[in-house]
């Protein structure tokens, strides 16, 4: 049967480069060979109860032991049933008990250049005090605390204080509008709001408290607002509702034992963008989430106590929850936290930070890497970044040529790259190389972690053949998985469980190659169907990005009378002259790289692409523009409206 009939996706990209880890890296790694990986993977697959039961007993502190490792029935999943633990305890008290209380937990750098450090002991003191502040405001187990803050240590302190007392945090990225905050507060019935007076971004002060004031007018459930003084800008405080963080902390006791919480107690909700306007609060729980972030951090980053680990995400996203706060800290890692923009005061800020703090592990996003490529190598050449030993990426697929640049220019050809595939819903990393074991291929997230059992099916729910793409699903539960959508069981069922009953639907397409490596092919909704050939966005885009004049590219389909869909690509160029000659060059280039089938019908040059605030290209909006429609649907997650306005104007 043809791919067009089964709904499989054609694989048109061929990537043969292979990068095995160096012998030296393997020797020092906790998992130093493919045999070690395979043994772990098999143990988790063959007897999950034994594997996860033992791992949970080893890794987490149990106030009360669990009696059942896992109960599952379709979408209804529980892990470590009957047990009681506490995430904040596992991140703080446990490290101190192990003798690591004087190790740095956080090395923080503000955008203006101010720095602060906190040891695990110091962090515990702050967290205990703030836990008592929250309790003093009437916050108890199961209450929702809304957090809208800059990337300061207090953001992590607020999160850890919530999980310490069983309150549920809902962190909202500090770039969202008042409207978006109010929507989320109302959906969650948030009781307390935490924010700051302002935040520094590219040298300017953004008045966060003003935004929150507007949001709170429409958030009737919020009873009080705690305000961190960060930027010292003027802001309106409402008597009886608003309190300064530092004033409440003055009188707070530093004694607050962690509360034993049920394994399945909700730890946090995190809103993620859906295609409709209604916010979707992904709900995570306690023990399984904690264990998943702790183990995956060890496996994927091959973490050592002397590492200075830097994840450049914001705590407003799941990456910040799992790989700035909970995963690293439950291992006792030293985390660098940076408040500001990568290009302030100059495009070399990241490399300046790496050099000064001797960062050893860097975890960032493809959108940032593409920006570094565009800004030019001279910003890297100014700095000694040889402390780096491992690099990671997350958030989108990485085009192979961008991967090669990262490997050569940032990794000095010696650092393994872990391309980590996962989602807000999965709680932690699902597929990734293990840096001391897996030979990497640029653009592939390689292999599933222990406990992850992927299955790829076509539209008829039949497993696809090797090198054909289909819908990526998970056949088995894993400890870190979401437990629901806050207040919307129906949407939870429909979105993740109804397409392929009994399996979790990721919403991504993927293929497996001859070596069993996974290649993510983009979102299911983004597939381009040209004359019955179903093409993946990332493959077309990667072909264009491999041209040396292209900085970034997004491919979408638009309606076409004969072919069904035509390919329309939006391209930003490095510094070349965009024009008809370059269009011809790019068409020829794609023809050579992947063939006539994928040659774009329209090539549109643009200064920027519409992205979410977390840096993902919003192809949905580009589809509207390519079809000559007004870009519609939810645009509240759009980072820069002017990009969209410009693109829409260009077509008039």
Chain positions contacting ligand WT7, by CB under 6 A: 272, 317-319, 394-397, 419-424, 445, 506-508, 520, 523, 614
Nearer to ligand WT7, 446 or 565 (CB): 446
**CA-to-CA distance for 125 and 119, rounded, in angstroms?**
10
Nearer to ligand WT7, 152 or 319 (CB): 319
Nearer to ligand WT7, 391 or 599 (CB): 391
Rounded to the nearest 10°, the torsion over CA 503, 505, 506, 510 is 90
Give min distance, CB of 608 to ligand WT7, in A.
Answer: 20
Nearer to ligand WT7, 25 or 504 (CB): 504
Nearer to ligand WT7, 421 or 492 (CB): 421
Give min distance, CB of 287 to ligand WT7, in A.
Answer: 21
Rounded to the nearest 5°, which phi and psi values hold at 253?
Answer: -75, 145
Give min distance, CB of 116 to ligand WT7, in A.
Answer: 27
Three-state DSSP at 508 gives strand
**CA-to-CA distance for 188 and 626, rounded, in angstroms?**
36
Give min distance, CB of 165 to ligand WT7, in A.
Answer: 27
Nearer to ligand WT7, 128 or 329 (CB): 329
Give min distance, CB of 33 to ligand WT7, in A.
Answer: 23
Q: Which residues contact 73 (CB under 8 A, 6 or more apart)?
A: none
Q: Nearest to residue 13, comparing CAs of 504, 400, 477, 354?
A: 400
Structural contact between residues 610 and 633, judged by C-beta atoms closer than 8 angstroms: no
DSSP 596-634: GGG--SEEEE-S---BBTTS-B-HHHHHHHHTTPPP-S-
Nearer to ligand WT7, 123 or 365 (CB): 365
Give min distance, CB of 616 to ligand WT7, in A.
Answer: 6
Nearer to ligand WT7, 192 or 391 (CB): 391
**CA-to-CA distance for 295 and 328, rounded, in angstroms?**
10
- Maximal CA-CA distance, the chain: 73
**CA-to-CA distance for 227 and 413, rounded, in angstroms?**
45
Give min distance, CB of 432 to ligand WT7, in A.
Answer: 8
466: number of Cβ within 10 Å: 12
200: number of Cβ within 10 Å: 20
Nearer to ligand WT7, 263 or 506 (CB): 506
Give min distance, CB of 523 to ligand WT7, in A.
Answer: 5
Q: Nearest to residue 256, comparing CAs of 167, 135, 138, 394?
A: 135
Nearer to ligand WT7, 318 or 530 (CB): 318
Residue 581: C-alpha distances to residues 546, 591, 603, 604 (Å): 17, 16, 12, 13
As to burial, measured by CB atoms within 10 angstroms (0-12 exposed, 13-18 middle, 19+ buried), residue 15 is: middle
**CA-to-CA distance for 474 and 199, rounded, in angstroms?**
40
Nearer to ligand WT7, 216 or 391 (CB): 391
Nearer to ligand WT7, 394 or 415 (CB): 394
Give min distance, CB of 26 to ligand WT7, in A.
Answer: 23
Nearer to ligand WT7, 303 or 422 (CB): 422
Give min distance, CB of 451 to ligand WT7, in A.
Answer: 17
Residue 330: C-alpha distances to residues 93, 304, 407, 467, 620 (Å): 10, 13, 29, 38, 38
Give min distance, CB of 438 to ligand WT7, in A.
Answer: 14
Counting Cα atoms < 13 Å in the Cβ hemisphere of 498 gives 7
Q: Which residues contact 530 (CB under 8 A, 6 or more apart)?
A: 557, 560, 563, 564, 565, 566, 567, 597, 598
**CA-to-CA distance for 463 and 448, rounded, in angstroms?**
17
Give min distance, CB of 198 to ligand WT7, in A.
Answer: 26
Nearer to ligand WT7, 345 or 507 (CB): 507
Give min distance, CB of 270 to ligand WT7, in A.
Answer: 9
**CA-to-CA distance for 520 and 539, rounded, in angstroms?**
10
Residue 158: C-alpha distances to residues 11, 129, 149, 281, 563 (Å): 46, 10, 10, 19, 54
Which tokens go with 236? 């309106």
Ordered alpha helix ranges (H), 218-362? 245-250, 287-301, 318-320, 327-331, 349-357
Give min distance, CB of 103 to ligand WT7, in A.
Answer: 27
Residue nearest to ligand WT7 (CB): 424
- Report helix, strand and coil shares of the chain as percent, to nearest 5: 35, 25, 40
């Amino acid at each position: 049967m043809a791919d067009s009939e089964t709904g499989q996706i054609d694989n048109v990209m061929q990537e043969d480069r292979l990068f095995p880890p160096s012998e030296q890296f393997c020797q020092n790694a906790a998992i130093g060979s493919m045999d070690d990986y395979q043994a772990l993977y098999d143990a988790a697959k063959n007897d999950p109860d034994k594997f996860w039961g033992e791992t949970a007993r080893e890794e987490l502190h149990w106030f009360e032991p669990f009696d059942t490792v896992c109960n599952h029935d379709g979408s209804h999943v529980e892990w470590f049933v009957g047990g009681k633990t506490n995430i904040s305890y596992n991140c703080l008290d446990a490290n101190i008990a192990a003798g690591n209380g004087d190790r740095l937990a956080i090395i923080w750098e503000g955008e203006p250049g101010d720095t602060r450090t906190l040891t695990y002991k110091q962090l515990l003191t702050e967290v205990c005090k703030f836990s008592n502040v929250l309790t003093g405001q009437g916050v108890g187990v199961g209450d929702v605390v809304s957090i809208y803050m800059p990337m300061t240590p207090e953001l992590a302190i607020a999160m850890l204080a919530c999980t310490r007392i069983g309150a549920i945090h809902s962190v909202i990225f500090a770039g969202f509008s008042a409207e978006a905050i109010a929507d989320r507060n109302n959906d969650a019935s948030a009781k307390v709001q935490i924010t700051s007076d302002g935040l520094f971004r590219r040298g300017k002060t953004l008045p966060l408290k003003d935004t929150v004031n507007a949001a709170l007018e429409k958030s009737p459930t919020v009873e009080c607002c705690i305000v961190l003084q960060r930027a010292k800008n003027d802001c309106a405080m409402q008597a009886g509702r608003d309190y300064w963080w530092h004033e409440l902390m003055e009188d707070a006791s530093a004694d607050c034992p962690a509360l034993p919480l049920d394994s399945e107690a909700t730890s946090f909700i995190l809103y993620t963008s859906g295609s409709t306007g209604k916010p979707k609060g992904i709900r995570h729980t306690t023990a399984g989430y904690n264990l998943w972030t702790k183990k995956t951090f060890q496996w994927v980053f091959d973490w050592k106590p002397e590492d200075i680990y830097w994840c450049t995400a914001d705590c407003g996203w799941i990456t910040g929850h799992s790989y700035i706060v909970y995963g690293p800290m439950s291992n006792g890692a030293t985390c660098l936290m940076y408040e500001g923009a990568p290009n302030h005061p100059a495009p070399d800020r990241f490399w300046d930070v790496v050099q000064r703090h001797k960062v050893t592990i860097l975890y960032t996003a493809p959108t940032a890497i593409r920006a570094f490529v565009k800004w030019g190598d001279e910003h890297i050449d100014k700095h000694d970044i040889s402390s780096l030993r491992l690099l990671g990426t997350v958030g989108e697929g990485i085009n192979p040529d961008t991967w090669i640049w990262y490997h050569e220019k940032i990794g000095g050809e010696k650092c393994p790259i872990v391309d980590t595939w996962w989602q807000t819903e999965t709680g932690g990393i699902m597929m990734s190389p293990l840096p001391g074991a897996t030979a990497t291929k640029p653009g592939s997230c390689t292999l599933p972690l222990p406990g992850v059992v992927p299955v790829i099916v076509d539209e008829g729910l039949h497993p696809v053949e090797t090198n054909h793409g289909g819908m990526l699903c998970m056949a088995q539960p894993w400890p870190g998985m979401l437990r629901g959508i806050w207040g919307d069981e129906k949407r939870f069922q429909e979105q993740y469980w109804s397409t392929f009953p009994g399996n979790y639907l990721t919403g991504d397409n993927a293929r497996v190659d001859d070596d069993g490596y996974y290649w993510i092919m983009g979102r299911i909704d983004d597939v381009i169907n040209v004359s019955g050939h179903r093409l993946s966005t990332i493959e077309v885009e990667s072909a264009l990005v491999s041209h040396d004049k292209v900085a970034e590219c997004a491919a979408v389909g638009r309606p076409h009378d004969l072919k069904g869909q035509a390919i329309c690509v939006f391209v930003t160029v490095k510094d070349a002259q965009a024009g008809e000659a370059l269009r011809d060059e790019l068409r020829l280039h794609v023809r050579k790289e992947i063939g006539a089938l994928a040659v774009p019908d329209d090539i549109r040059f643009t200064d920027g692409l519409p992205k979410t605030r977390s840096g993902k290209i919003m192809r949905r909006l580009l589809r509207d523009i390519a079809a000559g429609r007004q870009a519609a649907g939810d645009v509240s997650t759009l980072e820069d409206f002017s990009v969209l306005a410009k693109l829409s104007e260009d077509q008039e």
